[in-house]
With several copies, the nearest count.
Chain A
Amino acid sequence: MTTISPASVDFTGSQPETPSGRRLTFVEALVEGMRDEMRRDPSVFLMGQDVGAMGGAMQGSKGLYEEFGPRRVKDTPISESAMVGAAVGAALTGKRPIVEVSFGEFLPTAMNQIVLQAANLHYMTCGAARVPMVLRTRVGDGPYRGHPQSYEAWFAHVPGLKVVMPATAADAKGMMVAAIRDPNPVLFFEHMWLYHGVRGEVPAGDHVTPLDSTFVRRAGRDVTIAATGWMVHKALGAADLLATEGIEVEVVDVACLSPLRTEVVEESVRKTSRLVVAHEAWRTGGFGAEIAATIAERCFYDLDAPVARVAAPDAPLPLAKPLRDAFLPDVRDVAEAVRRVHAG
């Protein structure tokens, strides 16, 4: 199947080229964001399984234990609900905990803490309580193919939570910094293909990407693709492909899923009159449904063709590579959808 090799993905994201010219991988940028905030703010600490001496799954917390020690980089038992509860409670005391659930596949074991506590506390106390915590977790397909679930749609459905999914190294750092500084519970989804596969320009020093960001990654006049996470890169791959066919695609990176702001997508669709929504999660009830429904409503008179959704089929996610590759939407699927709406 057509798919862009992670290595080939290489760009700067939301930031202008910095003189420094520093190029980091997605995960390096992510860790730098946590490190900078831990240096700046003593109330920030990290909890998770193997985040300490081991440096985290896929090097997700590399170097933090060495710099900050066991008090601020806490290894936890295999107790996802208690881990998230620990973050909610610590946040209530004014700390700024980052709790790592190793993989998004384990979020179902901590839903009560996330949905019934973290999301409700501020509103239900008429503002007396605040829950400034970050829940980071690895999602999507990846080099090892393990734990590939994408449950972001569940959380985008729950008011009181913020949900972000950066697609570039610069935003991995900038949004992590913003998430840590935000006074609300932020779910931070880290796509595993991006981890070591995406490298880009990352500003040194204080660098904040607003959590409500949506980015136009590539300008084009014919069709808009609104994508999340790794699919942003597949969309860009598809755009390259389609350019050779004379179809100019505009690629929008919906880096913030909740609270959702669709202005950028609307503006783009007013120009292109055509929209493809692309994500790696299951199609039915996926987050793409919300984007499609909202745009179909707000841009009803602008659309020249039905909004198309590119997503995983409605079946459990198989493990073996040939099945996984056939299962997940790829560059070709995105390109095909674009051709369809372009023709339509």
Chain B
Amino acid sequence: MATAAPTRINHPAPHAHGRDLLRLMILSRVLEQTCCELNPRWFPAEGEEAAIVGAFYGLRSDDFIAAHYRGPFIAYYLRGADLARLIGQALAKANGYARGRALGFTGPFELGCLPWVAGDLGTSLGVATGVATGYQYEGGDRVVVCSFGDGTSNRGDFHEALNLAAVWKLPIVYVCQNNQYSISLHLSQVLATDTIAARAAGYGMPGVAVDGNDVLAVRAAVEHAVESARAGLGPSLVEAQSYRLSGHWASDPGGYRRDEDVAAWRERDPITRLERQLLEAGEVTRHDLDQLWQDARDEVARAVEVAQAAPSCDAADIGLGEAYAS
């Protein structure tokens, strides 16, 4: 665990937030799309950048995050992860944080990220809640932010974790990254309520559903929830309502849904939306935007170069003797 004195990560002066959030969403878009090009089995996060960036922005180095498996790299980047090592994971290269042992979307534990050590969804909510249990036991004001998909909220672990957190008033914020799909199934096929946030009342914790394509709205809701968790007021559930613009994995044509739905949601792209807002507010110029995209492409391109030059995982590093700590 990070134990150095807490410092804010990637956290500029308030007035600059909009621009910084935009930069991060653009970086996320370029980064994840690049991974999809490099790996047809990668899971596209296109359209969900606001939900992800808004959830993990502005935490402290001694906080902890458990990011949903779709589009987590920007969250790890916010923890200080190296892009080349993350992209290396998408390529299953040896420079990845888990050196090819864990899943490609795993995060660096040493930077306060819950790694993906198995593929069963929902279980991570229990472990993240346990990290919050450890933080509360310490005293202090460290918090955990844990995101998960809309489909995952139907797993029993969601229920047990949120109830435990509410009863113990644990310092954790649950963020549902609602993209309205679980692989081929629309939310309406697996959920009979309008929102997942509605479940919070059943645990006695605050629950709020926000426009998941409005990064400022997501950020505001999560920031509020993080502050109350830090203040010892207990957990919250924030639902960021968005849409999965691409397939379940990069090569999934997603033929199970209607083109006009996808098209309608493309209209609400969270990045173009914030770009428009900032342009109108005069906070950025067209040239600034071009520059942001160019910087992101350059930064990712450099990282890809490093990742591709990195050695493949070596059978010699299999570490069969490392199942146990000593």
Contacts and interface: CB of A to CB of B under 8 A. Distances in A.
A103 interface: yes
Chain B interface residue number, banded: 35 or more
B324 A160 contact: yes
B156 A109 contact: yes
A118 to B, nearest CB: 9
A82 B115 contact: no
Nearest to A128: B109
10 contacts: A76-B190, A77-B160, A77-B191, A79-B163, A90-B130, A120-B117, A124-B102, A146-B119, A183-B326, A323-B318
B276 interface: no
A71 B92 CA distance: 41
Interface in B188-206: 189-191
A123 B137 contact: no
Contacts of A81: 123, 126, 156-157, 160
B164 interface: yes
B154 A79 contact: yes
Nearest to B324: A184
A274 interface: no
Interface in B126-175: 126-135, 137-138, 151-152, 154-157, 159-161, 163-164, 167-168
A121 B324 CA distance: 10
B121 interface: yes
B155 A183 contact: no
A75 to B, nearest CB: 5
A237 to B, nearest CB: 20
A116 B191 contact: no
Residue of A81, A83, A319 contacting most chain B CB atoms (<10 Å): A319
A319 B92 contact: yes
7 closest cross-chain pairs (CB), A and B: A89-B130, A85-B126, A320-B100, A93-B134, A82-B160, A326-B315, A116-B118
A84 interface: yes
B152 A117 contact: no
A318 interface: yes
A124 B190 contact: no
A325 interface: yes
A330 B323 CA distance: 22
A159 interface: yes
A21 interface: no
A50 B183 contact: yes
B89 to A, nearest CB: 9
Interface stretch (A11-19, A227-235, A262-270, A309-317): A309-317
Nearest to A146: B119
